[in-house]
A and B are shown apart, each in its own frame.
Chain A
Amino acid sequence: MALEKPYKDVPGTTIFDAEQSRKGYHLNQFCVSLMKPENRARFKANERAYLDEWPMSEEQKQAVLARDLNWCIRLGGNIYFLARIGATDGKSFQQMAGSMTGMSEEEYRDMMVAGGRPVEGNRYTHEWEKQ
């Protein structure tokens, strides 16, 4: 019998559960390695060569090279781990979060200052499908 996962019915959201964690293990552990300054320097010097040291899938490597965080998350990445890539690039958490929303950095910042994204219309997947 399948486990109940009600959180699959929340739009624009991927819950990092045991299944996602299994898929993203090497991707996330690559991110952990960027906590060391010497690894950050080696990654910046040659991203592709550094990624090739990890048993990640080719698609995971492409997602990292593209800095497409939504893509990384689909492939098992978790935002707290992926944040190490942003830190290496000198990006703030707000810049990283905003990059996943399709908004510009300024639009996202303005939305947060104005009180954030409202919950109305953002609770269930079907609410986004109607749009």
Chain B
Amino acid sequence: MARITASVYSSHVPAIGVAVDQGRTGEPYWQKMFAGFEFSKQWMKDNTPDVVFLVYNDHATAFSLEIIPTFAIGCAAEFRPADEGWGPRPVPAVKGHPELAAHIAQSVIMDDFDLTIVNRMDVDHGLTVPLSLMCGQPAAWPCPVIPFAVNVVQYPVPSGRRCFNLGRAIRKAVESYDAPLKVQVWGTGGMSHQLQGPRAGLINREWDNAFLDRLIADPAGLAQVPHIEYVREAGSEGIELVMWLIARGAMSDNLPKVAHRFYHVPASNTAVGHLILENQ
């Protein structure tokens, strides 16, 4: 049977991708942020899974306002890096895992979560920046990736509680897959940031760190936090953090081992948070 071995959490700021692609990670502005991921790149080499289930949000790239799926699972064999207006990132194409993706879709929909099945889409920085942070600049990504896009662009986005329960349904789906695959679930986006209006630039270090504490030790309680608290305390785009609860819900009910924890302000407009949690 397949099993979930670990979960990884990280921000997915587009400027991080630009810094990687332009070889600027050693610049004073970026040095400290990328230093926080040195451990993670080694950990990823030592713990390469068979599949990464990557929860992220599309930023008006694959989904315009024509169709706005709340949850969309990528079931294709390959996903290409999107042109977001600056040209596509020079990173490898993402190989999917159509068999496991189809299995998860079947199981999770039977558990009352209405997933949109996507057989063709390009993936934007929301998906490729976390891969760059965890894997560096390889010629090919180290394993297949199932993209799982969550609508956090048009309000109302799914609640933290629904995301946490969806994570549990994903865990059940993975554990019923009849092949001995090691699967990691990644939750991306956040942490505190606001990209719009006169309040742009909001950062809340204290709230972010309390979020990290509770994500580790009290995820079911954290899942009860309403939308308005994210908006008020962590900025309008801080609401992306509900996606971390999907990854956390996919972990076992035992307290996880904290393999790595990192927090840094700023990357462009955003607070960068990062956790690696191992099932034990």
Contact = CB atoms under 8 A, between A and B. Distances in A.
7 contacts: A12-B197, A13-B196, A14-B197, A31-B60, A101-B199, A116-B266, A116-B269
B15 interface: yes
A18 B154 contact: yes
B180 interface: no
Interface string B182-208: 000000000010111111111111010
A113 B14 CA distance: 17
A93 B60 contact: no
A112 B266 contact: yes
A32 B67 CA distance: 13
Given A28-B60, A35-B83, A119 B268 contact: no
A86 to B, nearest CB: 8
Given A7-B227, A97-B200, A108-B201, A25 B85 contact: no
Contact of A35 (B84, B201, B203, B265): B84
Given A70-B197, A79-B196, A94-B15, A117 B64 contact: no
A83 interface: yes
B261 to A, nearest CB: 19
- Name the interface size band of chain B: 35 or more
B61 interface: yes
Contacts of B237: 79
Secondary structure at chain A's binding surface: helix, strand, loop or mixed? helix
B197 A73 contact: yes
Contact of A18 (B155, B204, B227): B155
A31 B18 CA distance: 21
B68 to A, nearest CB: 8
Contacts of A14: 196-197
